Chains A and B, each alone.
Chain A
Amino acid sequence: MPKTFSGGIFLEDQKNLTADKPIRKAPAPALAILPLQQHAGCPAEPKVAVGAMVQIGQLIGDSEKFITAAIHAPVCGKVIAIDRRLHPNGIKLLSIVIENSGETTVHPSVTPPLPPENLSPDQIRQIVRRAGIVGMGGGAFPAHVKLTPPPGKKIESVIINGAECEPYLTGDYRLMLEQPENILWGLWAVMQATGAIHGIIAIEDNKPAAIRVLLQTLQNITLPQNRQNDIRIEILAAKYPQGSEKQMIKSILGREVPSGGLPADSHCIVTNVATAATIASTIKTGSPLIDRVITVSGGNIKNPANLLCRIGTPFIDLINACGGFLEEPTKIIMGGPMMGIAVPGIDVPVLKCTTGILSLSKAEMAESLVQPCIRCARCVDACPQLLLPNLLGDFSEHNHHPQAKEYGAQDCIECGICAYVCPAKRNLVQLIKVSKQVINSQS
């Protein structure tokens, strides 16, 4: 029996649009736009000036702070501007704009580190820190911070999150099929850095090919200190939001991350498949995070595909690389259709945490008017955090935020399931987010 959690729903995954399409290299953009804030934490500061010539992999933004991430040039060329540019999140943020010269010179700082077996936990964290790696599943939390367990918290298990439970997205699935060794090496590095005893790769049961490939690779691979023997594959029920950290830990280990706590409180950390693969290639080649795999899909994209693209590529370049739109787009989503954000323009850049670009057809989106709540409790039965979303929505609508707090608004993981199932079409998750913001600003 595949492992699972309570609540959640089965979504039509729409992954057949791109699941069988191998990762294809997208052309490097003519203009790369690199916001200095692509991650949780403090923004990076520019380390180059307008007019400077940069090479692939060169450090162009960094910060002295701990929770931050370095930014590197994804192309060769000239820095033509450092100013505020439209960010996928809808506001203008300080960005470095590089005009691609078309050359492919790699900056001399990009050199392979020591052989992996000789790396200490601190060295692994240093490499990850310098490469600017963040959580690539959408969270964008700086990876070196995650690899530094809080004092007094023992990490027993590292879980590689291969659930990819959002519909449409298939980038992680393709990585599992095409780069299984990298994923295992990345898992090894995270286990090494955190001192974890077990490594777990978690995959939903609707991806049997990925399960097969990883099992085979695990049998044939030899990792330093024979750590492959400490790694196992866990098969999870294909259910949304299986990829949510808390639900994944509950499914696999049967533990609940305490309210307000971190996975480390449950003695584990969860890292996305793409992050693991990136950590592995950085450890092997020294290359920083300058490209990633994204899925360009949806009913309004001519030839949906999985693309390996440079960070900073404008969305429209990648959409054009997939044959363009079928009809005038009304909405473009960064990420999955459940938790992704609607972007303000077609030329916003791909970020380190961009998992996909979606343009849905009108039939797929189905916008409709809000009706009165009939208290059907579909949201209650689906909520993976066991909240009462309909009541939380009422509290938010009436500005009863203290009551929302009492009913656990802050435990909401914002998966959007309540708004998805609601037959009255209330945007419950949005109402709860409002309450959360008010509560957090008051405390």
Chain B
Amino acid sequence: MMLASVVRFWHNGWIDKLYIQPDFFFSYRGFEWVKPLGDGTYVLFALCAISALMVALGYKYRLAILMFFLSFTYIELMDKTTYLNHYYFISLVSFLMIFLPASAYFSVDARKNDKVAFQRVPRWTVDAVKLMLGIVYFYAGLAKLNSDWLLNAQPLSIWLPSKYSTPLLGDLLQERWMHFAFSWAGALYDLAIPFLLLYRKTRVPAFVAVVIFHVLTRVLFPIGMFPYIMILSALVFFDAPFHKRILRVFGRLVNTSIGRFENDKSKPELGMLRIGKPILMIFFVVQLLLPFRHVLYPGELFWTEEGYRFSWRVMLMEKAGYANFKIVDAETGRRFYVDNNDFLTAFQEKQMATQPDFILEYGHYLKRHFEQQGHQNLQVYVESYVSLNGRGSQAYIDPKVDLAQVKPSYKHKNWILPFNDEIKGL
């Protein structure tokens, strides 16, 4: 078996990606030290691009994948605002691949050194990637089994009609039944696709479904590379002869016959593979449990977002918010409001206003900022409103809580006001 084909697309996309540099960045807890490096950020991106290319070529594979994992993850950790499930997915897969022998076949490494060339790798190394993909799809499907998605077709009922100028589909997207059709089809697709891809007889139609589904999401939603990544990733479910056919064609282009890799050798489970196996077992146990951590928190998950990230909850909610910060001088009682435009980009403000951990972090930043200007004993209050999946706006954070006194923690945030509705489901 071989993995080489899976990594070919990795060098697409993020080379020309730019990072805008606002005054303030939202950090992940425990990773506050990860900050953009100023102009060094470009070096970081270059490093990431080069290592991705090296991974794709299979050149100095271990070093390259480690470099890619570290640089990509660093980029992701710089600003929480840009959190996307598929960036997380890429980080996870690249972590996984540190331990996998993806350069054993059809790679520069294997071509230069016959000793590291193997026609076969242990089955579990490929299965690990399949399992990762399966988790992404299946958990995304489970998360869709909620009353907003299935019974109210939300948030698709908000998103789809606004795509009225989509060719052919524009008018259909206005129809209520289409929103339900998309919702239910989406949930079924996510739940079933890993199994359909695993099963030989349904694999080809399943892959056709993967292509249709992701192309459709690409047309309808601004989600960048994700559809392409998922389509290409799904190829890992196909068997060796299929990949060999692709590589044979590709091999002609780069003047490398795949025949030279057909050495009938199997990669022994030594070195990284031996270390990797138990690490990956722990990794997958964590991956299986982490998305369910929200059960440890009271309150509605979509509302509090405690345990929402890193759990494959994709495109599940439309949240709009507005947060108006009030700074009070505890001694004089003097108070004023903050103009968020002075500190945040529009995108950061939008993300901040609907997520409690952002609100808290920004509140602390404001306190520091104004205390540096000579004020003392400042209190920070926020008047905020959030609208979730088409419900009317509702007060979000307790306006009487001084955020300056709230310490960030993983405990339940009791300063979030209760949600006046119920969303049933997982």
Q: Do these two chains interact?
A: no
Chain B residues at the A interface, C-beta cutoff of 8 Å: none
Binding site for B on A (CB under 8 A): none
